[in-house]
Amino acid sequence: MQRDILGSGELNTFLRRKLFIANLAMIAAVTFWGGSFVSIKISLNEIPPITLALIRFAIASILLGIILKRVEPSTTLKKCDTPKMFLGGVLGITIYFYFENIGVKLTTATNASLIVSTVPIIAIILDVIFFRSRISLVKLLGVGIALVGAYLAVTANGKVEFNSANFKGNIFMVCAMLSWSFYTMVNKSLQGKYSGVFLTTYQTIFGTLCLIPLSLFEYREWRLFSLITLWNIIFLAVFCSVAGYLLYMFALKRLDVAITTIYLNLVPVVGVVCGYLILNERVLPIQLVGGLITLLAIIIVNFELVIFQRSMP
């Protein structure tokens, strides 16, 4: 009996340790992703936007390919899934980072971080439009609140200034969020067939290949870059595109979906803090209000999801 109790205590300690490690992994992933906007902003001072994306994901493709060979050496891509896999790579890598890198170049890392918080709301709207999903009153309320928050974050001062570089950059960021939302929709039918590592690796490779011809339009801007920029590229490729994703997948298997979603909502918060501390970027109070309103809307939507999951038999 004593051994059973001891064994139970050891098991509880082991489980608590696993949960602690999973939370640390999620915090690390969120920190990497939130800090990526600052690294992109710094790198864009010496490297044009599409070329930066190409270098970053060329490195990430090689690393992910090595990892995939070790983890799933026998898994292959079915011919019938190749078009969807290719489209996912184009939407999630090529188009997304085309818009994001140009957006970050024109606006601030802080603004870009705040606009990222609109992704869940855009995803809900697209789900209703294309899949005719039913939207509850709580979700409808959340979407309405989020649109107000997004408007304040994007316009920066509550007024639309079409000629300002910041506003144009913010619009590019919104386009990037739209691309990412379409990317998640395409991946819905593939997630049950392949692992997350397999999907990420193939789509990263496909997206990187499509960046090659686009980067040729920037050849006049190509030049040697500094060691600081090199370290930022390594951070983006190794920590944001590879390690961040692997840490997220590790945490996702051990934590509740609602918890990981709350963590993901902290990405723009980390981005704003990094922009302020590292780049000395100024964020307007109205933008912070907009960001907080958007986060509030996401919490409302997630609260309904948690209640629904707990009511399931």
Q: What is the pLDDT of residues 253-290, one digit of tens each?
A: 777 665 666 677 778 878 888 888 899 887 777 767 77
Residue 14 has pLDDT above 80, yes or no: no
Residue 160: its pLDDT value, please? 54
Placement of tokens 């044009």 in the chain: 48
- Write the pLDDT tens digit of every residue in 284-299: 777 677 767 767 776 6
Q: In terms of Cα–Cα distance, which of 264, 261, 267, 254 is closest to 305?
A: 261
Residue 40: its pLDDT value, please? 96
> What share of the chain has pLDDT > 70, as a percent?
78
Please give the mean pLDDT across all residues of the chain. Answer: 82
- Write the pLDDT tens digit of every residue in 164-200: 777 888 889 989 988 988 888 888 778 778 888 999 9
Contact 34, 269 (CB under 8 A): yes
Q: How confident is the model at residue 301 (pLDDT cuts 50, 70, 90)?
A: low
SS3 192: coil
Residue 6: its pLDDT value, please? 45
- Write the pLDDT tens digit of every residue in 204-256: 999 999 999 999 999 999 999 999 999 999 999 999 999 999 998 888 777 76
Least confident of 37-41, 224-228, 280-284, 302-306: 302-306
Residue 31: its pLDDT value, please? 93
Contact 263, 26 (CB under 8 A): yes
Residue 219: burial class (beta carbons within 10 Å; 0-12, 13-18, 19+): exposed
Contact 204, 66 (CB under 8 A): no
Residue 131: its pLDDT value, please? 66
SS3 15: helix
Residue 89: its pLDDT value, please? 95
- Token pair for residue 19? 């949960």
Residue 206: its pLDDT value, please? 97
Q: How many residues does this entry show for the chain?
A: 313
Q: How confident is the model at residue 45 (pLDDT cuts 50, 70, 90)?
A: very high
Q: How confident is the model at residue 312 (pLDDT cuts 50, 70, 90)?
A: very low
**Would you say the pTM of this structure is higher than 0.95?**
no
Q: How confident is the model at residue 115 (pLDDT cuts 50, 70, 90)?
A: confident
Residue 7 has pLDDT above 70, yes or no: no
Residue 105 has pLDDT above 50, yes or no: yes
